[in-house]
Structure 1
């Protein structure tokens, strides 16, 4: 049977002080291409539905492959998370990053419910870079945080400071995950680094996207 993946992207386009933000395109596009090449059915959803804003910083340098640029068309009309009524059909949920995720995913109760139900059904939960911001509000049915006691990674506090955007963030992601009881593993800035703890797969930064996607593919078989 064809595997079905739910990709959840941000619809936040502003940071603190009005600085523009959004989705980091390569983190969506590289994963999308990996999944599409395996013939997976892919649903793209977001908190508000409609268009997911792309962070212009993710397009700087002019080195983004056309194959990745082409995936932007799947961000034009995303499904609203509240419209998803049957999470049982998803074999995995994948959260790409971009600073926008820090502003709308941590508080989205529908997303938290979807992640909990997918995880507790023994299906995959994967996130990369700032995508794990979507995990911080997730509690399992027994009331414990999803990440408590789990080995994870995400965009590190040191990487955030290097971007100089740390002062515009509502919180630092590594610090928050540690506060929730996660065993956080950080590698050097911009290293391709993932952690796989059972059905929970996380990646540190944009450089880790393909590795996370390949681990999802590996586990889905």
Structure 2
């Protein structure tokens, strides 16, 4: 059976600052756990491969299921220590790609051509391109063979401007997700700040915030089971 490819960041700091960032832990663990409970395997990839840092703020917003998954040897080894490099990935092995969040992704996801090509290949094979929260950054610059943005004309969600303000990060992020999506012809959708919300448009599935990874996973499973 094909697997789901989970994309993680290698960025350790907000660019231009000393403030640490990285993967938002629950956005990886809750999605992966839901997918694996359905009998589908996952692999982990990052732009550089290898070490994946954790956003320390995400450790304040854990629950028992997040911590149990985080403590497994499989997650610590395959996700946080030895994530795959893009050149180790065969897109034919995957039914979907899922971009996790954490503010770090805003710097290493948008312009990674290798990841873009993997995502486009999965999509062209009839698979799904999915994201949660800031992971929408990975979708922004994917273009089809005609040079059209994949998100153009599609309903997309991600971490909102209101949520950036509440998080105190509006002044340090390199772009705002709503503006970036709309600039590429996407239709940005949102609900209340920090409430679970995920939407599907064709074979694009996106979630708004850290409370939405399981909702993204459930939508994906509705399509592939």
- One fold, TM greater than 0.5? yes
Aligned to 1:47: 47
2:62 and 2:27 map into 1 onto residues whose CA distance is 16
1:26 and 1:69 map into 2 onto residues whose CA distance is 9
**Displacement of 1:51:** 1.3
Aligned to 2:221: 217
2:62 and 2:53 map into 1 onto residues whose CA distance is 18
1:36 and 1:7 map into 2 onto residues whose CA distance is 12
Q: Structure 1 residues 62, 197: CA separation in 2 closer, same or farther (over 3 Å shift)?
A: closer
1:61 and 1:204 map into 2 onto residues whose CA distance is 16
Q: Structure 1 residues 61, 25: CA separation in 2 closer, same or farther (over 3 Å shift)?
A: closer
**Gapped regions of structure 2 (runs ≥ 5):** none
Q: Structure 1 residues 189, 34: CA separation in 2 closer, same or farther (over 3 Å shift)?
A: same
1:38-84 CA-partner distances (Å, limit 9, x unpaired)? 22121111001111101010011564533232254132210111222
Aligned to 1:7: 6
> Aligned to 2:71, what secondary structure does the other structure show?
helix
> Aligned to 1:20, what secondary structure does the other structure show?
coil
1:137 and 1:131 map into 2 onto residues whose CA distance is 12
Q: Which of these residues, 62, 79, 84, is aligned with residue 84 of structure 2? A: 79
**Gapped regions of structure 1 (runs ≥ 5):** none
> Aligned to 2:211, what secondary structure does the other structure show?
helix
Q: Which of these residues, 177, 192, 195, is aligned with residue 191 of structure 1? A: 195
Structure 1 residue ranges (4+ consecutive) displaced by more than 6 angstroms after TM superposition: none
Q: Which of these residues, 96, 99, 102, is aligned with residue 100 of structure 2? A: 96
> Aligned to 1:217, what secondary structure does the other structure show?
helix
> Aligned to 1:110, what secondary structure does the other structure show?
helix
**Displacement of 1:117:** 1.3
2:58 and 2:12 map into 1 onto residues whose CA distance is 13
Contact 2:26 2:62 in 1 (8 A): no
**Displacement of 1:10:** 0.5
1:154 and 1:13 map into 2 onto residues whose CA distance is 21
Aligned to 1:69: 70
Aligned to 1:58: 58
Aligned to 1:174: 178
Moved more, 196-205 or 38-47: 38-47
Q: Structure 1 residues 110, 128: CA separation in 2 closer, same or farther (over 3 Å shift)?
A: same
* TM-score normalised by the chain length of structure 1: 0.95
Q: CA RMSD in A?
A: 1.4
